[in-house]
Structure 1
Amino acid sequence: MTDRPSNEDFLRQADPLRRELLAHCYRMLGSVHDAEDLVQETYLRAWRAYDGFEGRSSLRTWLYRIATTACLTALDSRSRRPLPTGLGAPASEATGPLVEGDEVPWLEPIPDGMVGAGAGDPATIVTSRDSIRLALIAALQHLPPRQRAVLILRDVLKWRAAEVAEVLDTTTVAVNSTLQRARAQLDEVSPSLDDPVEPLTAEQRAQLDRYVAAFQNYDVAGIVQLFTKDAVWEMPPFTGWYQGADNIGRLIVTNCPAKQPGDLRLMPIEANGQPAFGMYFRRGDVYEAFGLPVLTFTGSRVSHVAMFFDLGLFDTFGLPRTLSGASTRN
């Protein structure tokens, strides 16, 4: 008789799976903080139950089963996490009042480094840009939790129907039926998700430099030129969303506290496999954390910006809350 694996063996085998489990829980929940909590719960449950793990499935499959079950249980008592475009209201006019939806549990972005999207083998699905892009995470929020789990396991992680059935304790017939419904609903919500996410081109990187310069120089006309004609700007916790490059320009003029060159500073980061920034607003000699915009390109222009005003996200992304004026001057 062989000795059963020790808990040290469990940690040695399970720790390398932590980032992909975090990505899985994030896709399910739409919140980096909730995902971290559920990964911790997954490892605690697995640690306690490891003596009973008989190895009939791989440790990875077993951990995904625990994580998925934990996510489904959590979602029983939690509302979906939308972006403003997912609330069902029409686009807003830039000159209208801003309305905060503090009661809404908003979708959150996730740092690439937390889920390995910025490094590692590009062929690994759990670290691909496609699998965590903001549009996908937002679209998944429209699916009932069980449909969400099936679609993620089948279409994102590329598991076989039999493997998904094992994780969800159901039949392959039920998995295939659920997947069909989930795909149909996702196509209604966001038909463009089939478009692959490619690494930024040289022109797109040049546009990012222009984006930074335009905001830091308070060049609203230059900002408008960087957007596609029908670009969308949204900024939770405000419930409105704004469509059209000119409308976005009016929104900036009307509601952005910046009024002159030097009022804003941008620090580049990566979120959801996309370019993003920590944006700071000048108050006296100090730049204070202001917002965190995540950008989507269509061709050489910006087609979507999700500007997150939850300042706690600066901590999540390892960004300082303040910058000295001297350290940010060109």
Structure 2
Amino acid sequence: MAVTEHQRGDTPADEEPIQDETEEVEANVGLSYTLKQVKQDTTARIGLYIIGFLCAVTVFTTVDAVVFNYEFAKTYLQNPVNDPNNINELRLLPPVGMGGELQYPLGTDARGRDILTRLIYGTRIAMTAGFFATVVGFVGGTIIGAVSGYYGGRVDDVLQRITETMYAIPFLVLVIAIMAVLGNNIWFAIIGVGIASIPVFNRLIRSRVVSVREEDYIEAAKAAGVKDRNIILRHVIPNSFAPVLVQSTLQIGYSILIIAGLSFLGFGAQPPTPSWGQMLAGSRNHMINAPTYSIWPGLAILITVIGFNLFGDGLQDALDPRIDN
């Protein structure tokens, strides 16, 4: 009697594509797959390039400021004119190509300082402030949202009423109120923006935790006697992390915009520290006779926020399993 392929235990050829498809689906998870999807997304890649460039500028300016005490840009950050009789010669120089000097490619401000150099060193303030403000909001919102969503009941009611009260106050008003209590400098501005960001992360992480806490592996961990603290830190938060990561990326850009607005209003970074918001504030009285003075800091803020938004949108597409990549 002839022995068929099924009797020999061989796998039929028509089942192989199903196995390959299963393996492909199982591979569509994890950090490597997420990075691959981000690289394939053109908008996310553009955003990543912008963020990478800004990070490189931030590292360079931080090293020069901390290690070399602004040695690279000391001449340009301060007023380069020593003779009061000649100070008007360098005030509000236009960019190169519009009658300006090659020494000052983007022109000078009302005090004769190089705009390009102040833009470059203002990147350090913007990126540092945006990052740390987001960290404050992320940590506070994640802890409150995880505890609130996991325990529920009265704990959830109390914590959510507090955060809803904060959420009802306009963001900028809440930040200024916090700074009125703490003080007026860049670090208190960072703390204020971070605290005001807590409700955003809290609501996001709580909605995820409420669904995650009903999963079988959470019940199994409880039955095994694992402490609530370990369940929250090792199981609940990691499995609710994807949307929070996307929100963190978007929040950095938003925090940079808010801190620039605070500097424009006279809060946050104080002169002579270079800040994009301060540069915009200084250009208010020169909109007609020196219009380019206000264009450069506004363009820097715009490109930075767009970069983080593009990367955040691409990251969301890569992390969302409902989107067919």
- Using the size of structure 2 for normalisation, the TM-score is 0.26
Which structure has the greater CA radius of gyration? 2
Could you say which structure has the greater relative contact order, defined with CA pairs below 8 angstroms and 6 or more residues apart?
2
Higher strand share: 1
